[in-house]
Structure 1
């Protein structure tokens, strides 16, 4: 049997941009992608803390150190700059793997920089 667990989460990131007319996706600062273990083109779920909106899209890399969290295309209708969001990636594991797996959680400051240093 396979189970789906949270693989990684960017906790309470601030949306920096929302562009309805840009190709759909979420652009995320490369430093955050590396810290949480999310890869380019991976599907992520996004939870808007301000509105309760929940949606999924794919990841595009933004420049490292930019602090970018940019929602594009249809996703831009579900958040505005300044909204706090959770960005979560999931993965499937067999039961043995699942029992010992620990997700990577990155908490960020107001500029979307990791609080872990």
Structure 2
């Protein structure tokens, strides 16, 4: 049996840009991608803590060290600059992989810079 579980989560990042005229996606600082193991073009679900919206898009890289979390295209209608988001990616795991699976949870500071990786700290 295969099961879908949380792969990684960026917890309470703050939206820094919203651009309706862009073709779509979510720009994420490369430092956050590295910390979480998320990849460019990966499908993500976003949960807006500030207004309750839930939506999906894909990742594009934002400049390393910028703290950028940008919503583009239709996604830009789901949040305002300054809103807090939880960004999640899910993956499919076999029963054997489940035994050792631990999702990566990245906590950030007020500038969207990684401050702690919960899964790494737990191990």
TM-score grouping bracket, smaller chain normalisation? over 0.9
The TM-score, its normalising length taken from structure 1, stands at 0.97
Which of structure 1's runs of 4+ aligned residues deviate more than 4 A?
A: none
Equivalent residues in 2 for 1:99-114, closer than 5 Å: 99-114=99-114
Structure 2: gaps (5+ residues):
118-123
Paired with 1:111 and 1:71, the residues of 2 have a C-alpha distance of 16
CA distance in 1, matches of 2:96, 2:56: 28
Shift, 1:116, TM fit: 2.3
Q: Residue 115 of structure 1: SS of its match in structure 2?
A: strand
Aligned CA RMSD, in angstroms, stands at 1.0
**Structure 1 residue runs without a partner (length 5+):** none
For normalisation by structure 2, the TM-score amounts to 0.92
Structure 2 matches for 1:22-101, cutoff 5 A? 22-101=22-101
Between the two proteins, the alignment pairs up a number of residues equal to 117
Post-superposition shift, 1:99? Answer: 2.4
